[in-house]
């Protein structure tokens, strides 16, 4: 009986995925590595109901019910089990650094403002798709509580499209590789006044999707290619003043790997590719910039190349020599690699893509 009780008290732990190892090393007040995804309702948010929904949903998500621990050789996750973090009305800048000791040891926060529910996640937990998966279920549960008739109709069980899968899809799909796939050559870097640590600048823009699709169709490109090209064009015209440059404009673009490898994991599963435009002469048209961006993205976004990109990193992680190196030395190496790769990109543009929700 005593052994049975001890087994019940055993705390669950989990390894970080390959990408997640980087985020605890580089995160801080000046670069939080916290992202936000929001949902806007047609009715004002009730804080007490949102807290109740979070209290109900969190225990079902092993991937969010975690705290981060530091071992001798690696960081690792440990089951948290504390009460859910408090839902608060938004009163500060978004995407602030999450201090676990002030957040019940959790690595995410939920806030609200009028009609909007905000989920902010430390990237070590999961990527944007994992965050959407959690936020959708939290919103479903909130709406069931806010509308009892809906709750009677659909019940309290998780929605059918909600994933609880915790597979490490990097490990499952990698092939041993020693070929480095990411860029290290320096790119054109933006300069200007910086916001103080902890502050975050946000601009909201809205456009009609059918009209956007019409423009993209006319150019024969995807929405992702078009929007990245518009950003590159903005840098070229406003910052470089349409002049030649020794260094290219290179934009890092995260790619969700799940569709390419038949994965539904809620861990991180993405890689970065680069859209590149190098002005070597004067006066380029937008069409020329779009063509350069589109071709560079299409040449990289294939299952074979994406596999090559993450296989190199996983192969390095699996090396015995790397595994037995103490964590503080790994941290120094990862900071160096990150700084080198950061200087190789002008900016990052993330496109979450199409999001579908249940009709109810």
CB 262 within 8 A of CB 124: no
Beta bridge partners of 88: 111
> How far apart, in whole angstroms, are the C-alpha atoms of residue 51 and residue 66?
18
**pLDDT tens readout for residues 151-180:** 888 888 888 889 999 999 999 999 987 666
**Angle between the N-to-C axes of helices 47-57 and 128-146, in degrees from 0 to 180, rounded to the nearest 10:** 120
**pLDDT tens readout for residues 206-226:** 999 999 999 999 999 999 999
Contacts for 300 with CB less than 8 Å, ≥ 6 apart: 273, 274, 306
Q: Where are the alpha helices (DSSP H) in the chain?
A: 2-9, 23-26, 47-57, 128-146, 148-154, 169-173, 209-219, 223-234, 258-261, 286-300, 303-318, 320-323, 327-342
Q: In terms of Cα–Cα distance, which of 65, 54, 64 is closest to 140?
A: 54
Would you give the DSSP letter of residue 289? Answer: H
Contacts for 156 with CB less than 8 Å, ≥ 6 apart: 56, 141, 144
**pLDDT tens readout for residues 93-141:** 999 999 988 899 999 999 999 999 999 999 999 999 999 999 999 999 9
Per-residue pLDDT, 359? 83
Per-residue pLDDT, 278? 96
> Which parts of the chain register pLDDT below 70?
1-9, 178-183, 320-322
């Amino acid at each position: 009986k005593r052994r049975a009780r001890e087994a019940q008290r055993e705390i669950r732990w989990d390894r970080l995925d390959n990408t997640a190892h980087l985020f605890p090393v580089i995160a801080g007040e000046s670069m939080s590595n916290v992202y936000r995804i929001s949902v806007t309702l047609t009715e004002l948010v009730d804080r007490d109901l949102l807290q109740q929904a979070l209290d109900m949903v969190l225990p079902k998500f092993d991937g969010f019910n975690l705290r981060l621990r530091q071992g001798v050789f690696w960081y690792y996750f440990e089951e948290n089990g504390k009460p859910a973090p408090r839902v608060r009305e938004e009163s500060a800048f978004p995407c602030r650094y999450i201090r676990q000791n002030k957040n019940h040891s959790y690595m995410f926060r939920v806030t609200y403002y009028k009609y909007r529910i905000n989920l902010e996640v430390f990237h070590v937990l999961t990527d944007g798709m994992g965050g959407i998966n959690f936020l959708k279920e939290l919103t479903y549960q909130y709406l069931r509580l806010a509308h009892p008739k809906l709750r009677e109709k659909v019940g309290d069980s998780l929605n059918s499209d909600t994933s609880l899968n915790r597979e490490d899809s990097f490990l499952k799909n990698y092939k041993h590789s020693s070929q480095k796939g990411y860029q290290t050559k320096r790119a054109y870097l933006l300069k200007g006044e910086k916001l103080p640590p902890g502050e975050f600048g946000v601009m909201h823009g809205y456009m009609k999707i059918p009209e956007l699709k019409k423009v993209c169709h006319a150019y024969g490109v995807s929405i992702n290619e078009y929007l990245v090209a518009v950003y590159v064009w903005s840098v070229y015209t406003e910052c470089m003043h349409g002049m030649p440059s020794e260094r290219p404009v290179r934009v890092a673009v995260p790619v969700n790997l799940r569709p390419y490898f038949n994965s539904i994991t809620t861990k991180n599963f993405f890689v970065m590719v680069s859209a590149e435009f190098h002005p070597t002469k004067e006066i380029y048209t937008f069409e020329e910039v779009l063509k350069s961006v589109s071709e560079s993205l299409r040449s990289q976004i294939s299952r074979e190349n994406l596999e090559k990109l993450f296989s190199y990193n996983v192969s390095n992680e699996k090396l015995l020599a790397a595994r037995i190196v103490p964590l503080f030395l790994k941290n120094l190496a990862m900071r160096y690699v990150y700084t080198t790769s950061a200087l190789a990109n002008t900016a990052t543009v993330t496109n979450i893509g199409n999001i579908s929700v249940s009709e109810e």
